[in-house]
Amino acid sequence: MLNNIYASEMTYGETYANAQYQVTTPDGWIAFKIGEPNQHLYQLLDANGVDMAALITAWNPLGKMSDIEANREANHSLELNIQKMGLPYYLGSGSDPKGAWKEDSYFVMGIDPTQAKQLGDAYLQNAIVWINRCDAPSLIWLR
């Protein structure tokens, strides 16, 4: 395995692909998975007048488990950078279906792929979750 978060019989890529993702909105939360179209996500995009979004975290850089305080500080820095971009966002998360780990994230509306990759890369993430109005949620690998 590449690191200590993904110590199971699943491969590194399978860990990301099988994770459970969630976005919290004023109307409730939306759960979604990689590769599965989700009408609730598309409605959220429509309600915000955008065609694309990304779920980005700063937790556990390079997939190595960090302590909770370091993760919170990094995610706060990510949130400040999103605010500087002037893009609307919602709180989100990604987690292991078995409950072994959970990472707080931000669902950034209207971000373009280049900006999303730059943010993920700046916080040493292995991948980001990409949502395009015309496709199922997917992973963009950064490493």
The beta strand positions in the chain, using DSSP E, are 20-25, 28-32, 52-56, 89-95, 102-109, 127-132, 138-141
Select from 108, 113, 30, 19 the least CA-distant residue to 60: 19
Whether the predicted pLDDT of 6 surpasses 50 = no
Write down the pTM of the prediction: 0.90
Q: What is the mean pLDDT of the chain?
A: 91
Select from 127, 114, 3 the least CA-distant residue to 56: 127
Select from 139, 132, 143, 135 the least CA-distant residue to 56: 139
Cα within 13 Å of Cα(96), Cβ side: 13
pLDDT of residue 11: 64
pLDDT of residue 13: 66
